[in-house]
């Protein structure tokens, strides 16, 4: 596929390249229904509606056509139309970086509190968009210099990526729209933390952020004791890092992220396996027992079509049950799990050979689930609607062996949006924020 390089000046530096596994050229110049005498008379309002349905790569290419199309990104009337009619796109955004938690702990134990240097900060700022419908990859590299050094991606929602500071102490968070290259800063958290779990829920009229665990109670000790939340909405209500209820006993936020489903945040709890749940409306935490918790390996929580799913390998070595990879769905009662899908055995044998017992990561969006295998460039895509498994074509923008310096892919559910007006609510806050320089 040809690279998309914008030749006219944009309000930000932008580089969009694309690669698809099934690129078929389409000749539209000879089709009679594309007669310019007909299409030139199309009402401008209808033409804008057609453009609003374009996916972001096609939209940015179309902006090269004329001055008016170029200016659509600055047009309030077009952006309002776009927010109303543009279809939701259940895509994924991947960043390549090292395992952040091990790096932070290693540097913290050496007497330093900063993990911002040498962690491939600007390498991780290059994003790789994946369209599961077309199995197409896109590269986003223009915002690499916008995100300050010493920040890492932590969560996603509503077209925004939440970046959290690596430095131990009060955590600073930044909301980024990688399509537009825009950054919006949040006030720092109240409590000092090392590597907390981050949850983000963005709606058209509100922003809610939850930061939980890894309380830095001393330079040498970290415990999962508290959580705090940030909320602001269009109704004028805001809560700047209010303290949530105490965390359940013996909780462990190993995954570093939360999954948002219908007013609740969920996170995997380890030793033993269970699920930590937080209800926003009641400000309460509790534990949910995981299915087959004694036989799970590499469990991950994902959101799919408004449901919470648990994806894990099952290994009953002492019983006559074949090893497999299974998906369970949490039922409306909030305590019961029902098995929804099982990877075909022949495919699981291939998957297990590639994975080699080193574990895997999962991320879900819409009807799609991506299963990433660390240490390789291989990943599986499962379509919940079609009940179809397939290997994802390797990202064409990642070449060669990591060599220990490039890290591995970490994925986020991502809905590309040309506008995120909800971030303007943060302009109402008058607290003195710290200023960052990229």
Tell me the domains of the chain and their CATH numbers. Answer: 16-85 (no CATH), 91-399+407-428 (2.120.10.80)
Whole-angstrom distance, CA of residue 263 vs CA of residue 281: 7
* pLDDT tens digits for range 385-398: 999 999 999 999 88
The residue that leads in pLDDT, 101 or 47, is 47
CB atoms within 10 A of CB 22: 8
Residue 169: band (very low, low, confident or very high) from pLDDT cuts 50, 70, 90: very high
What's the pLDDT at 18?
A: 47
Note whether 137 and 130 are within 8 A (CB): yes
How far from 256 is each of 95, 103, 120, 154, CA to CA, in Å? 15, 13, 19, 8
- Torsion over CA: 101, 106, 111, 116 (sign): negative
* pLDDT tens digits for range 399-421: 755 434 456 788 999 999 999 99
Is a pLDDT exceeding 60 seen at residue 317? yes
What's the pLDDT at 326?
A: 95
Whole-angstrom distance, CA of residue 398 vs CA of residue 373: 15
Residue 77: band (very low, low, confident or very high) from pLDDT cuts 50, 70, 90: very high
Q: What mean pLDDT value characterizes the chain?
A: 81
Whole-angstrom distance, CA of residue 63 vs CA of residue 20: 21
CB atoms within 10 A of CB 73: 17
Average pLDDT over residues 198-207: 94
Average pLDDT over residues 143-149: 74
What's the pLDDT at 33?
A: 61
Is a pLDDT exceeding 80 seen at residue 78? yes
Q: Which helix (H) or strand (E) holds 123?
A: helix 121-124
What's the pLDDT at 252?
A: 84
Is a pLDDT exceeding 90 seen at residue 340? yes
Residue count (the chain): 438
Note whether 179 and 59 are within 8 A (CB): no
Cα Rg, the chain, nearest whole Å: 22
Note whether 82 and 418 are within 8 A (CB): yes
């Amino acid at each position: 596929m040809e690279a998309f390089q914008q030749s006219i000046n944009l309000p930000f530096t932008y580089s969009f390249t694309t690669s698809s596994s099934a690129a078929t050229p389409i000749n539209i110049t000879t089709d009679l229904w594309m007669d310019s005498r007909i299409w030139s008379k199309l009402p401008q309002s209808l033409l804008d509606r057609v453009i609003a349905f374009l996916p972001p790569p096609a939209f940015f290419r179309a902006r090269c056509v004329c001055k008016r199309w170029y200016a659509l990104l600055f047009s309030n009337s077009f952006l309002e139309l776009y927010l109303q009619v543009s279809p939701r796109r259940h895509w994924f955004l991947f960043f390549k970086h090292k395992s952040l938690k091990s790096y932070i702990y290693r540097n913290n134990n050496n007497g330093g509190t900063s993990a911002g240097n040498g962690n491939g900060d600007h390498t991780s700022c290059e994003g790789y968009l994946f369209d599961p419908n077309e199995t197409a990859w896109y590269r986003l590299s223009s915002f690499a210099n916008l995100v300050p050094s010493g920040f890492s991606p932590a969560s996603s929602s509503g077209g925004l990526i939440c970046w959290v500071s690596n430095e131990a102490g009060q955590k600073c968070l930044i909301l980024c729209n990688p399509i537009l290259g825009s950054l919006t800063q949040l006030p720092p958290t109240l409590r000092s933390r090392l590597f907390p779990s981050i949850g983000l829920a963005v709606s058209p009229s509100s922003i809610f952020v939850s930061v939980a665990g890894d309380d830095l109670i001393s330079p040498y000790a970290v415990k999962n004791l508290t959580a705090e939340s940030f909320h602001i909405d269009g109704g004028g209500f805001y809560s700047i890092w209010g303290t949530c209820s105490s965390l359940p006993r013996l909780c462990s936020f190993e995954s570093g992220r939360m999954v948002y489903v219908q007013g609740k945040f969920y996170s995997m709890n380890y030793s033993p396996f269970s699920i930590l749940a937080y209800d926003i409306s009641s400000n309460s935490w509790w534990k949910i027992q995981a299915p087959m918790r004694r036989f799970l390996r590499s469990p991950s929580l994902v959101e799919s079509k408004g449901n919470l799913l648990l994806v894990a390998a099952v290994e009953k070595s002492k019983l006559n049950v074949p090893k497999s990879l299974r998906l369970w769905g949490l039922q409306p009662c909030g305590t019961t799990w029902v098995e929804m899908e099982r990877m075909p055995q022949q495919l699981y044998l291939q998957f297990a050979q590639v994975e080699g017992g080193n574990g895997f990561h999962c991320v879900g969006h819409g009807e799609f689930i991506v299963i990433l295998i660390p240490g390789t460039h291989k990943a599986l895509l499962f379509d919940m609607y079609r009940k179809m498994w397939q290997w994802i074509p390797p990202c064409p923008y990642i070449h060669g062996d990591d060599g220990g310096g490039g890290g591995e892919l970490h994925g986020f559910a991502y809905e590309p949006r040309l506008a995120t007006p909800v971030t303007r609510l943060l302009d109402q806050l008058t607290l003195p924020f710290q200023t960052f320089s990229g």
